[in-house]
Structure 1
Amino acid sequence: MNKKVAPLIGVASAPIAVGLPVYNGEPYLATSLASLRAQRDVDFELWIADNCSTDGTEELCREAAKQDDRIRYFRRERNVGSSENHNRLIHETKTRYFTWAASDDAYEPDRLRKMLDALTDRPDAAMSFTSAREIDATGATVGHWDNPCRTEHYDPVVRLRDLIGREHENYHCYGLYRRDILTRTHLLPPVKNNDRILIAELSLYGRFAEVREALLLHRQHDRRLTQSVSQREWYRTQRSDGKRFVLPNVEEAGWYLKAIAGAPLNRQQRVLALLALRPWMRDNAVPMARNVARAAVDGARMAASAALPRK
């Protein structure tokens, strides 16, 4: 397809920004871009933030941008890590609604429109999301996902308790956000399970509007960042804060506490929200103790090394 595609409403700003952060996404990127460009009956902008890819990602994106006026492609000045690349996109776009897309996923043609309709019908909702079909590297269906959490419940503590306490895949994070509410959160913190923390925090700001149709095609493959690196390796390669000691589970606990502290809750709700963290704290007590013990050992080794006389 070589014809330029103009926005549906001409020069007016589109209501939706689709942010696509990518690093070496060549294997599935063409499929993802094609499915995004095929979204129908909805006006949107597609912002692609290339985190200094070393494969054919840049060429694919530049070619797509030449063909479609809705696409804005730019390459970071350096690799800023996955979380920061995601978060920068939120501030770089200025639309009323925002959603992240993944370079290895695909989307049914009505997905954006139906999520927008759901938010329009539910002015009290902080975001909308859809069910998902899980696909493999070849595109074959390998599973289905429907939301098991009570994310439409009127009580923010119930929403939080379910999102933290129930076993579920966090496909809510690929939903459509009200940008003014999203920017009130801490966004994606620099920890591996940051999407779960963000969605849990967002649930304290409003209910989620659910479209119970499998309009997201989420790809399962071995090259996914969260699957291909360990928690400690993720910290080493994805963080840019220069911290010497890594306490992954302790830091996750801290971000949950920050989320509750900053949310628009009354005193009783805040206390109940803190109590809702108990199952997570219980499950992570041993890992947090190991974090502290390992940091103490690493600190002792560094101190001993520094005390050795230099030759």
Structure 2
Amino acid sequence: MNRKAAAKVAPTLIGTASAPIAVGLPVYNGEPYLTRALTSLREQRDVDFELWIGDNCSTDGTEEICRDAAREDERIRYRRRERNLGSTGNHNRLVHEANARFFTWAASDDAYEPDRLRKMFDALSDRPDAVLAFTSARQIDADERTIGHWNNPCRTDHADPVVRIRDLIGLPHENYHCYGLYLRDVLARTHLLPPVKNNDRILIAELALYGRFVEIREELLLHRLHERRLTQSVSSRDWYRTQRTDSKRLVMPNVEEAGWYLKAIAGAPLGRQQRALALLALRPWIRENAGPMALNVARAAVDGARIAASASGRLLRK
């Protein structure tokens, strides 16, 4: 979507401007930590960027905070969505709204060290074979006390894409790669975030098939862990019910995740042998999820029978 077309859908508070980096910040009722997140982004040093905020129809003070920030800072474009797109839809819309060469998602409850954007930009600019740059992270609590640390355990800079996806799928790790800086045109060639709960893991595994990742081993991301986080506060099935915007009535979370992994590998720029090896790299995930997938199918059969019975009852009453 070009800037003029986007502006017709949801006008921004300021005019357009070009910058090499677009930061996409999706938010819904982010008032508790949003001011801190915006401040840390606005204080990024020695880097040219614009900040695109997608407000998913918040009902708290989010809109006022964002509009105030946009009035104060010409780099900020604020859009209040015409309807709640769900978390996935809001994230993906931001990728298409921005025109910059580089793109990153920022969370409304996280914060950045002042040099994070610049260091990711420099690292990715210097590596023509790379599609993503990311940093280590310091985990913080609601009061910004340090409660943990994250470093990448995966061989995401390996020359072989099969090694990269094998590690990302097979090794236990927190997926903080997704907060890195992407080449936007490569990101746009993926399926983006699919409509399943663990969609960030699927996206990063898919992206690893397109190119190598550049790692900056400095704790420049402050990732906040708190009880209000969406991924922590709802189950997989409840996530589907609250975040999905399609009309599917039968929920099979693990089965759908498997399908998206298969789509990711099928659409990646791989030769026949690499594609076969990438499919084999799914074995640890399949072993771990075989039981849940069987339960998904069994529960969907029960739910399907219940839906059919309800429909039959309505027809009989007519």
Percentage of identical aligned residues = 79
Please list the CA deviations of residues 184-212 of structure 1 after superposition, one character each: whole Å capped at 9, or x if unmatched.
Answer: 10000000000000000000000000111
Per-residue displacement from partner, 1:144-176 (whole Å, max 9, x unpaired)?
000000000000000000000000000000000
Matches of 1:64 and 1:83, distance apart in 2: 24
Which residue does 1:62 correspond to in 2? 67
Match of 1:245, as an amino acid?
A: L
Equivalent residue of 1:46, what SS? strand
Alignment partners' CA distance in 2, 1:255 and 1:223: 27
Among candidates 249, 252, 275, match of residue 270 of structure 1: 275
Q: Residue 12 and residue 51 in structure 1: after superposition, are their counterparts in 2 closer, same or farther (change >3 A)? A: closer
Alignment equivalent of 2:84, drawn from 63, 79, 84? 79
The answer to whether 1:291 aligns with 2:296 is: yes
> Partner of 2:132: helix, strand, or coil?
strand
Q: 1:77 & 1:178 partners in 2: Cα distance?
A: 28
Look up the match of 1:201: 206
Q: Secondary structure at the match of 1:42?
A: coil
Mapping of 1:179-218 within 5 angstroms?
A: 179-218=184-223
Say what the alpha-carbon RMSD is for the aligned residues: 0.9
Question: CA offsets, 1:27-75, max 9 Å, x none?
Answer: 0000000000000000000000000000000000000001000001110
Provide the C-alpha distance between the structure 2 equivalents of 1:17 and 1:302, rounded to a whole number of angstroms. Answer: 45
Any idea what SS the aligned residue of 2:210 has?
A: coil
1:276 is displaced (CA, Å) by 0.4
Compute the displacement of 1:180 (Å).
0.9
Q: Deviations over 1:70-125 (max 9, x none)?
A: 00111000101000000000000000000000000000000000000100111110
Give the AA of the match of 1:94.
N
Task: Measure how far apart 1:244 and its partner are.
Answer: 0.9
- The one of 228, 231, 234 equivalent to 1:226 is 231
1:103 to 104, 108, 114: 108
Amino acid at match of 1:114: K
Equivalence for 1:165: 170
Structure 1 equivalent of residue 9 of structure 2: none
Residue 282 (str. 1) matches residue 310 (str. 2)? no
Structure 2: how far apart are the matches of 1:203 and 1:95? 21
Letter in 2 for 1:260: I
Q: CA deviation at 1:12?
A: 6.4
1:130 partnered with 2:131: no
2:53 counterpart (13, 28, 48): 48
| Structure 2 CA distance for aligned equivalents of residues 141 and 162 of structure 1 | 27
For 1:140, give the aligned amino acid. Answer: R
1:31 aligns with 2:36: yes
TM-score, with length taken from structure 2: 0.93
**CA–CA distance in structure 2, aligned partners of residues 231 and 119 of structure 1:** 34
Task: Give 1:305 shift.
Answer: 2.4
TM-score normalized by structure 1? 0.96
Aligned match of 2:123: 118
Q: Structure 2: which amino acid aligns with 1:267?
A: R
Q: d(CA) in 2 for partners of 1:148 and 1:163?
A: 9
**SS of 1:149's equivalent?**
coil
Unaligned 5+ segments in structure 2 are: 1-15
Which residue pairs with 2:317 in the alignment? 310
In structure 2, the residue matched to 1:178 is: 183
Secondary structure of 2:209's match?
A: coil
Aligned length: 301
The answer to whether residue 94 in structure 2 is matched with residue 89 in structure 1 is yes
Name segments (4+ residues, structure 1) moved above 4 Å: none
Listed as ranges, the gaps of 5+ residues in structure 1 are: 1-10
1-side partners of 2:63 and 2:171: how far apart?
39
Report deviation, 1:306.
2.5
